[in-house]
């Protein structure tokens, strides 16, 4: 079964520091997509970054990058230069391209909390 694992406890980081949030996944499908979303206290899930399983390069989106290690089945999120607005829950998610005929549903991990201090 497809599974996303996020086991890091919540952490505090100083503003402007870099931080990594870990994610491991399990799937038997060779074609899949990996996502990171952030959820501030308002409840909205905000898309951060996407990595396709066949992408040769690690994905980057502004201050966010994804450290994709396919053989280890890990997809860690790296945030450079943390900002106060980065304080939120961070969720790793996976979508299997041909899962049950549906191409839209995401499987989420339990999330990991990040708090940025001034």
Partner 1 sequence: DAGVTQSPTHLIKTRGQQVTLRCSPISGHKSVSWYQQVLGQGPQFIFQYYEKEERGRGNFPDRFSARQFPNYSSELNVNALLLGDSALYLCASSLEWGIEKLFFGSGTQLSVL
Residues that bind partner 1 (CB under 8 A): 4, 33, 35, 37, 42-47, 50, 52, 91, 93, 95, 97, 100-111
Supply the minimum distance, in Å, between the C-beta of residue 114 and partner 1. Answer: 15
The conformation of residue 86, written as its DSSP 8-state character, comes to: G
Of the two residues 19 and 109, which places its CB atom closer to partner 1 in the complex? 109
Q: Which one, of 88, 97, 94, 107, lies nearest residue 68 by Cα?
A: 94
Supply the minimum distance, in Å, between the C-beta of residue 16 and partner 1. Answer: 28
Of the two residues 50 and 64, which places its CB atom closer to partner 1 in the complex? 50
Supply the minimum distance, in Å, between the C-beta of residue 78 and partner 1. Answer: 20
101 phi/psi in degrees, rounded to 5: 85, -10
Measured between alpha carbons, how far is residue 69 from residues 2, 39, 43, 73 in Å?
17, 24, 30, 6
């Amino acid at each position: 079964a497809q599974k996303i694992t996020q086991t890091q406890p919540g952490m505090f980081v100083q503003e402007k520091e870099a931080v990594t949030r870990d994610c491991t996944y399990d799937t038997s499908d060779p074609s899949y997509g990996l996502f990171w979303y952030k959820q501030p206290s308002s409840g909205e899930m905000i898309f951060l970054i996407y990595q396709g399983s066949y992408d040769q390069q690690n994905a980057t989106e502004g201050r966010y990058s994804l450290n994709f290690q396919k053989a280890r089945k890990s997809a860690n999120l790296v945030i450079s230069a943390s900002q106060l607005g980065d304080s939120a829950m961070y969720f790793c998610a996976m979508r299997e391209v041909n899962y049950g005929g549906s191409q839209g549903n995401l499987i989420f991990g339990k999330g990991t909390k990040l708090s940025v201090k001034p």
